[in-house]
């Protein structure tokens, strides 16, 4: 630390000062600006969308003439993306500006909403709820974009019922390498439709997505059930995920090797008898994972009504549990009541303003990743993660995987229940080395599991192709003449491409 400038030293050791007194006020100014920007919603019409398409097509044709050897990616800067690492490839690939973030239409008849890919969950969900609708898989971080969730993957506590985010999408609009616009759905260009999810923008540029919508209700009636032992957590999770009639939402937080809290929820309009609604989204309310942990103290089953939007964004204020490393006193009542209204910190601003030292410290001493494994391997996997990482809490989110031909699908010919295991934090084992991730990836591969690619991978190309079925993807890449125009998925998610 001695060789660092004073500013660098302060930014690393007292980052909370910078975050609380500069970054949070900037976030609030950004929010005020977005209130004005909301008028965009009414401004976005089909016509506006058409204009945007020609703008993208012009850029692609220009690249095809001027730089045909340089493969393309979107111009969305790395600091805006919801990933911890920098996308190094943005610097040497040809950047196409695909920034479209409107709602094109809401169609109550077909129960779909057509959106442009840059719209975030934080903008889409409130607008839909105001119109009485919601999406089946509503992601819990405000800044995630629809394009990113289709091209990467997304899952939430309703995924045990509806599957991964893209499975609730019914139509994509894609601009291909030669600038053509393709529409695809289950009935039109069905193979292209199936190969787009998880292709990380390597088949074309997404310009519109149709998502199913379902009627929104006022609350989620959420039940908290403390459970001791991993065996019991696993067996209870299997029972609750198959009870689709009672459980619209299922999520498990594991707080140590032995104890966790299983949450099951149902969307409801409630009735007049509701005495207490826990508005967890209010600024002075405790961080959600701390609130859930409190059920381990009383060891009683709890039940409460939570407003729908508050439930959806329950992990947003504390960025799951990541904000505690940055503002360690952020959950203290004094902070919450005085400055809690400034939260949550904008991830993009945190990324943009982190110094190289902070980046390196995170790279060396911090772990952020998600693994998707068969539900019956919960106990075995958590034990392995405990030995190698010892990070708690652990996020467990069940998701159904269906058979298919895309990059990621159930290896069986029937639907299979999987769980996403999210590990975010500082490993508490002695001698932690980030390359240990490779061992974990091999462990997951052996269990016929997958990993989420937003954090990058140490797998080599052959292992990667064993984990993700490339047969249809390769064929579609050939048909759409992607070879010299777009990189392969692996070129974007391997460790050298993400630093
Ligand atoms: C992943 C992580 C992120 C953190 N982020 C913040 C933050 O944003 N703002 C804040 O005020 N405090 C943060 N902290 C806590 C803070 O950085 C440390 O308490 C402080 O740096 C210790 O300083 P030192 O001079 O005692 O130790 P040092 O001599 O600076 O370091 C001792 C050891 O700890 C490691 N280390 C130091 N700082 C970090 C760090 N930030 N991350 C990982 N390893 C580290 C060093 O590599 C070294 O091995 C973070 C801690 C961790 C683990
Ligand atoms: N609960 C959850 O499921 C969570 C998921 N995530 C992960 O975060 C990522 C989403 O974050 P977000 O910041 O929204 O997206 P990103 O900017 O990270 O984009 C993710 C990928 O999607 C591609 N992409 C995005 N928009 C388009 C488009 N219009 N056309 C073509 N390709 C496109 C990007 O291409 P390019 O490389 O060319 O820019 C990139 O490869 C996903 O990978 C997701 O798995 C993170 C947190 C929570
Ligand atoms: C629910 C799933 C599947 C994933 C959740 C991942 C999140 C916990 C991470 C996604 C982006 C991450 C970033 C950070 C923390 C963890 C995430 C929110 C930081 C805010 C950590 C501090 C750094 O300085 C900036 C990081 C930006 C990305």
Nearest ligand 2 atom to the CA of 146 is 14
In this prediction, residue 481 has a pLDDT band, given cuts at 50, 70 and 90, of very high
**Apex CA 116: angle with CA 206 and CA 58, to 5°?**
55
Q: Is residue 253's pLDDT more than 80?
A: yes
CB atoms within 10 A of CB 173: 21
Q: How many other C-beta atoms are found inside a 10 Å radius of the C-beta of residue 22? A: 12
Indicate the pairing of strand 302-307 with strand 219-228: antiparallel
Cβ of 82 below 6 Å from ligand 3: yes
What is the Å distance from ligand 2's center to 454 Cα? 8
Residue that the structure tokens 């959106």 belong to: 115
Q: How far is CA 337 from CA 188, 286, 332, 487, in A?
A: 53, 10, 9, 49
Residues in contact with 184: Cβ distance below 8 Å, sequence separation at least 6, in sequence order: 171, 172, 174, 190, 192, 193, 196
Lookup: tokens for 478: 């050939």
Residue nearest to atom 46 of ligand 1 (CA): 361
What average pLDDT does the chain have?
Answer: 93
pLDDT higher than 80, residue 11: no
pLDDT above 60: residue 2: no
- Transcribe 39-53 into DSSP letters: THHHH--HHHHHHHH
- Which residue's C-alpha comes closest to atom 17 of ligand 1? 13
Residue 354 Cβ contacting ligand 3 at under 6 Å = yes
The mean per-residue pLDDT over the stretch 327-351 comes to 92
Indicate the pLDDT class of residue 345, thresholds 50, 70 and 90.
confident
Instruction: Give dist(CA 2, CA 4) in Å, integer.
Output: 6
**Contact predicate 382/254, CB 8 Å:** yes
Which listed ligand is nearest to 147 at the C-alpha?
2
CB 368 less than 6 A from any atom of ligand 3 = yes
- Tens of pLDDT, residue by residue over 189-245, are 999 999 999 999 999 999 999 999 999 999 999 999 999 999 999 999 999 999 999
pLDDT digits 0-9 by tens, 200-213: 999 999 999 999 99
Could you give the 3-state DSSP secondary structure of residue 338? helix
Residue 416 CA to ligand 3 center (angstroms) comes to 28
Reply yes or no on whether the pLDDT at 1 is more than 60: no
pLDDT in tens, 72-100: 999 999 999 998 888 999 999 999 999 89
For residue 282, how far is its CA from the centre of ligand 2 (angstroms)? 28
CA distances (Å), 303 to each of 47, 90, 232, 265, 274, in order?
47, 47, 20, 9, 12
Q: Is 250 helix (H, G, I), strand (E, B) or coil?
A: strand
Strand 72-74 vs strand 94-96: parallel, antiparallel, or unpaired?
parallel
In the reported structure, the alpha carbon of residue 154 is separated from the centroid of ligand 2 by a whole-number distance in angstroms of 9
Summarize the confidence of residues 477-481 as an average pLDDT. Answer: 97
β-bridge pairing 450-451 and 302-307: unpaired
Could you tell which of 84, 93, 152, 203 is best to mutate to test the pocket of ligand 2, judged by most ligand atoms within 8 Å of the CB?
152
Does 281 score more than 50 pLDDT?
A: yes
Q: What local confidence, expressed as pLDDT, does residue 360 receive?
A: 87
Confidence of residue 431 (pLDDT cuts 50, 70, 90): confident
**SS3 at position 188:** coil
**Distance in Å, CA 422 to ligand 1 centroid:** 22
What does the pLDDT look like over 296-305, one tens digit per residue?
999 999 999 9
393: cis peptide before it, omega within 30°? yes
Backbone angles phi, psi at 413, to 5 degrees: -95, 5
**ipTM over 0.95 threshold:** no
Ligand 1 mean position, distance from CA 425 (Å)? 13
Q: What is the dihedral of CA 183, 189, 195, 199, to 10 degrees?
A: -30
Mutate-to-test residue for ligand 3 from 84, 253, 317, 328, highest number of ligand atoms within 8 A of CB: 84
Average pLDDT over residues 358-370: 91
pLDDT at 332 (0 to 100): 96
Residue 42 clears pLDDT 70, i.e. is over it? no
The pLDDT, as a whole number, for residue 14 is 77
Alpha carbon distance, N-terminus to C-terminus of the chain: 22
């Amino acid at each position: 630390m001695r060789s660092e400038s004073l500013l660098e030293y302060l930014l690393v050791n007292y980052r909370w000062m910078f975050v609380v007194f500069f970054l949070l006020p900037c976030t609030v100014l950004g929010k005020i600006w977005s209130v004005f920007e909301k008028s965009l919603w009414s401004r976005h019409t089909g016509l506006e969308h058409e204009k945007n398409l020609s703008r993208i097509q012009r850029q692609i044709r220009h690249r095809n003439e001027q730089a045909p050897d340089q493969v393309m990616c979107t111009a969305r800067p790395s600091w805006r993306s919801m990933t911890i690492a920098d996308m190094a490839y943005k610097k040497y690939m040809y950047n196409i500006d695909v920034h479209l973030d409107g709602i094109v239409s809401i169609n109550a008849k077909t129960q779909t909403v057509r959106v442009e890919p840059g719209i975030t969950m934080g903008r889409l969900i409130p607008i839909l709820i105001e119109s009485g609708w919601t999406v089946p898989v509503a992601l819990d971080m405000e800044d995630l974009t629809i394009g990113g969730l289709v091209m990467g993957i997304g899952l939430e506590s309703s995924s045990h019922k509806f599957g991964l985010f893209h499975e609730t999408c019914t139509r994509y609009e894609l601009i291909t390498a030669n600038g053509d616009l393709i529409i695809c759905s289950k009935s039109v260009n069905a193979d292209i439709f199936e190969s787009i999810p998880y292709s990380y923008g390597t088949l074309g540029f997404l310009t519109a997505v149709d998502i199913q919508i379902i009627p929104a209700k006022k609350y989620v009636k959420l039940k908290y059930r403390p459970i001791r032992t991993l065996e019991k957590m696993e067996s209870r999770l299997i029972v609750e995920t198959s009870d689709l009639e009672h459980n619209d939402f299922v999520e498990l937080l594991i707080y140590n090797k032995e104890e966790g809290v299983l949450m099951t929820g149902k969307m409801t309009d409630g009735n007049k008898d509701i005495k207490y609604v826990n508005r967890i989204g209010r600024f002075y309310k405790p961080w959600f994972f701390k609130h859930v942990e409190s059920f381990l103290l009383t060891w009683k089953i709890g039940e409460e009504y939570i407003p729908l939007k508050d439930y959806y964004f329950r992990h947003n204020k504390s960025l799951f549990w990541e904000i505690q490393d940055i503002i360690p006193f952020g959950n203290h009542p004094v902070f919450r009541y005085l400055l809690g209204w400034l939260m949550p910190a904008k991830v993009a601003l945190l990324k943009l303003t982190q110094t190289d030292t902070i980046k390196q410290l995170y790279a060396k001493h911090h772990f952020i990743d998600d693994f998707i494994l068969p539900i019956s391997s919960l106990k075995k996997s958590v034990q392995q993660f405990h030995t190698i990482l010892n990070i708690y809490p652990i996020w467990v989110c069940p998701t159904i995987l269906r058979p298919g031909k895309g990059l990621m699908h159930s290896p069986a010919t029937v639907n299979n229940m999987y769980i996403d295991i999210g590990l975010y934090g500082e490993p508490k084992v002695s001698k932690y080395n980030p390359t240990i991730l490779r061992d974990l990836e091999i462990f997951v591969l052996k269990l016929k599991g997958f990993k989420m690619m937003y954090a990058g991978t140490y797998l080599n190309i052959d292992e990667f192709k064993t984990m993700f079925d490339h047969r249809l993807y390769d064929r579609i890449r050939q048909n759409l003449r992607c070879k010299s125009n777009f990189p392969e998925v692996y070129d974007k998610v391997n460790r050298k491409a993400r630093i």
